Structure formats: C-alpha cells, structure tokens
Amino acid sequence: MSVIDTVPSPVRLSAVAAPGQPEPTPALEKLYRGFEEELLVPLWTEIGGLMPLAPNSKASPHLWRWDRLLELADEAGRIVPVGRGGERRAIALANPSLGGRPYATPTLWAAIQYLMPGEDAPEHRHTQHAFRFVVEGEGVWTVVNGDEVRMSRGDFLPQGGWNWHAHHNAASKPMAWIDGLDIPFAYYTESQFFEFGRDELSQAERVAPEFSRSERLWGHPGLRPVSQLESTPSSPLLAYRWVDTDRALTEQLALEDEGHAATLSPGHAAVRYTNPTNGRDVLPTIRTEMHRVRGGASTLARREVGSSVFQVFDGEGCVTVGERSWQVRRGDMFVVPSWVSFQAKADAGQASLDLFRFSDTPIFEALHQQRSEVVQQA
C-alpha cells in the first residue's frame, strides 16, 4: 500500500472540560453521538486547530545533505530500472512531520532525479507544473514537445503542465538534478490529469543541440517573436542559463557597490525567473528564484504565507529556519514551512552563498492571500 493512502475513519467526538467548550454532560454526550451518526462535527471542538491566529505549519524545518542524496540516488541508479510504469528514477524529500508522505512541504514536491549513461526516461505529460534545476553535472537533455533542452550546472528548466516530456542521458556518466513540482497541491485539491506518451524518442530527438528551439525563439532580453503573441500561463522559455543568472546577480551587487538601489537588502541580490509573455512567475503555482548573499552578509529574517524549498547552489554559510540552524554547502536542500522565519548568512571567507529557491507563493498571490513580514532579529 502506498504511503499516501488514508484509512477512512468515522467521526469520533468526545466531550471534554476545557475553556470555550460546553459542559460535558450526558445530554452533550447524547448530542455528540447524534453528530457521529449523521457525520457532523461541531466548530467549537475544532476551532483552535482549524482556525489558528496565524499559520501553524504541519511541516517541520528540515535539511537533507546532498552527499547522502547523491549516494542513495547512485545506488538506485544501479538497481532500479527506469521505464514505463515507474516513469522516473526520482526520489522525493519526505518532510518528517507530514506522515511519511513524499511531500517536502504540504504543497511542494522536491526530488533528486538520476539517469545513467544512455538511459531514457519515457515520455508522458501531466497537469502538475514542474521544473528541473541542475546543481552539478551535465549530459542529460529534457525533450519537451520534441524540443531538446540541454541541462548543465546552474541551469533552470521550467515546464508548465500538460507538455509532453522525456529525458535522455547522452553522456558517458550518470547525472543527477532536482525536480520541483506542485504534486501535493494537485493531489490535495484533486485537480490533476496524466497521460502516457511514446515509449521511445526518435533519432531526431537525440541530436543534443547546445540550445533548444525555445531559447532560440524566446531567450533574447525584452524581444518577443511577433509570430507568438499570446500570453501563456507557463513560460515558453524552457531554459534559463546560469551564465545569464550569474551575470544578473553580479550586476546587482556591483550596482549596490556603486550606490544604486538594486538589491533586496545590503549584500543580498536576487532574481526571479519569469515568463516573458507576461512578466509573471514561470509557472502558475510555483515561484522560482536565485539568491546571492555576499560573503559575510546576511539576508533579512522574513516569514511569509506559504512554504519554500531551497537548494544551496554554491558557497557556504549558515541558514536559520525558525528555531533550527544549519551550516550548509553545495547541494544541500532544506524546507521553510509557512509563516516560519528564514535567514541566511554567507560565511565571511566566501565570495558568496548562492541559494536556489522555489515556493508556492503564486497560489496565494492569485487568491489574494499573500502576507509577509520582516521578523525582528534578536
């Protein structure tokens, strides 16, 4: 049985003596038995948990070390085949307080995916939105609707829902990367569709070009092909290359040095990956950003509605999530639950600490539920 199954259980109510609760009497007990029979639950026994003063996340702050993820993925690479049915050799972070389910946070899936030399992951499509981010390695191409997208260190590949996609490893070495999706959100809201595609890629899809067609059409700053004027919910640009991201972050810090407003706070540069058709997030449900904290500097401590997953791209430093703190390095992944504060500090001896981040914030912005605040530091 899968870890996500829930055993249906009947309504169970008990009268207790507590502030705000009705007196436990035989009449109340009888009423509660009536509620149970009719499948009813009163608000007054549940309001504290259901309607807290502020989000009180079921998820915990937690850190996964990249070396262990890689070690286990590598072992899986040797003994678990990739093919139709299992679909992908992807191994998901399971937040320690979400019941053993493969949820990094209540809404977000984060997994390491691994492909051996010459292997293919078969084609499928689903309405869940997805992206890939490459912390190290190269050699794999993701084929989206027949368009081959190279994956190299620092590259970010968004992939909006309902696009056909497959992967192939064209190199002589295994390659790992991370996948982010809104699988838990789609599962919870029961809004997902899935379809199997072809079992094999064509030869034309194994050419392994340096740039995808999507980049050649869309990867020019502020320039839009006149043949493609529709605004699309997800980005038509299928790769955001590290060379561009790095230059953008470098320039923000340089502008700060020259006295101009460009950073989020002193020493903290950040870019958001956006959909060139509308300037908004690349995916309707997932926000993705790259943050750079200058060596010795810190971000502000902030908390916000919604949850995030981070992966350290480069550098070393210390991150604090609520009451937890960890010294982190390349590849390490950690989660920040809803309304829990987050702060990062780059080690002084480093050029910078670079953090890739994804979050469910677009959901809350679309529904006018977003809130955030800077938390006073001790």
Least Cβ distance, residue 185 to a copy of itself (angstroms): 8
- Measured CA distances, 289 to 102, 126, 169 (Å): 23, 23, 26
> What residues contact 207, with CB distance under 8 A and at least 6 apart?
148
Least Cβ distance, residue 378 to a copy of itself (angstroms): 24
Q: 201 vs 363, which CB is nearer to a copy of itself? A: 363
What DSSP string runs through 337-351?
-TT--EEEEE-TTSS
200 binds a copy of itself (CB under 8 A): no
126 binds a copy of itself (CB under 8 A): yes
Spatial separation of the C-alpha atoms in residues 144 and 8, rounded to whole Å: 39
Q: 228 vs 348, which CB is nearer to a copy of itself? A: 228
Least Cβ distance, residue 349 to a copy of itself (angstroms): 26
Binding a copy of itself (rule: CB under 8 A), the pick from 159, 245, 298, 311 is: 245
297 binds a copy of itself (CB under 8 A): no
Spatial separation of the C-alpha atoms in residues 30 and 365, rounded to whole Å: 45
Binding a copy of itself (rule: CB under 8 A), the pick from 226, 323, 376, 378 is: 226
Spatial separation of the C-alpha atoms in residues 59 and 96, rounded to whole Å: 7
Q: 291 vs 294, which CB is nearer to a copy of itself? A: 291
Q: 114 vs 168, which CB is nearer to a copy of itself? A: 114
* Site string (149-188) toward a copy of itself, x via CB under 8 A: ------------x---------------------x-xxxx
Least Cβ distance, residue 342 to a copy of itself (angstroms): 14
Provide long-range contacts, Cβ within 8 A and 24+ apart, for 206-209.
206/141, 206/148, 206/168, 206/170, 207/148, 208/141, 208/148, 208/150, 208/170, 209/148, 209/150
Q: Report 246-265 residues binding a copy of itself (CB under 8 A).
A: 247-248, 251-252, 254-255, 260-264
62 binds a copy of itself (CB under 8 A): yes
Instruction: Identify residue 118 by its one-letter amino acid code.
Output: G
Which strand ranges, in their side-by-side order, compose the sheet holding 62-64? 62-64, 333-336, 308-314, 352-359, 287-294
289 binds a copy of itself (CB under 8 A): yes
373 binds a copy of itself (CB under 8 A): no
Spatial separation of the C-alpha atoms in residues 161 and 282, rounded to whole Å: 11
127 binds a copy of itself (CB under 8 A): yes
